[in-house]
Amino acid sequence: MKRIRCKKCNNFFNFTTMDDTICDICKKKELDEINFIRTYVRDNYGITISDLVSDTGIPLAKINKYIDSGVLEFKY
């Protein structure tokens, strides 16, 4: 098993798959954030991405990253 540094918190963690660039703790945090956004989008039907950014304070780049990687669905 290989140990690499987490891209987010800089802590070492066990690298298991090719797309592992962040540790489990950061992954969990990201998942919580994604779930939060999903709920927010569902509860505020028709919300735009810019509204989402200003309402939640989550950076646009991050939201776009979630959408690009397919973990978050957003209907424009």
Total residues contacting Zn ion (rule CB under 5 A)?
A: 5
Residue 14, helix vs strand vs coil:
strand
**Closest approach of Zn ion to the CB of residue 70, in Å:** 21
Residue closer to Zn ion by CB (options 7, 48) is 7
CA 25/CA 41 separation, integer angstroms: 24
Which tokens belong to 20? 């592992």
**Closest approach of Zn ion to the CB of residue 23, in Å:** 4
Residue closer to Zn ion by CB (options 9, 71) is 9
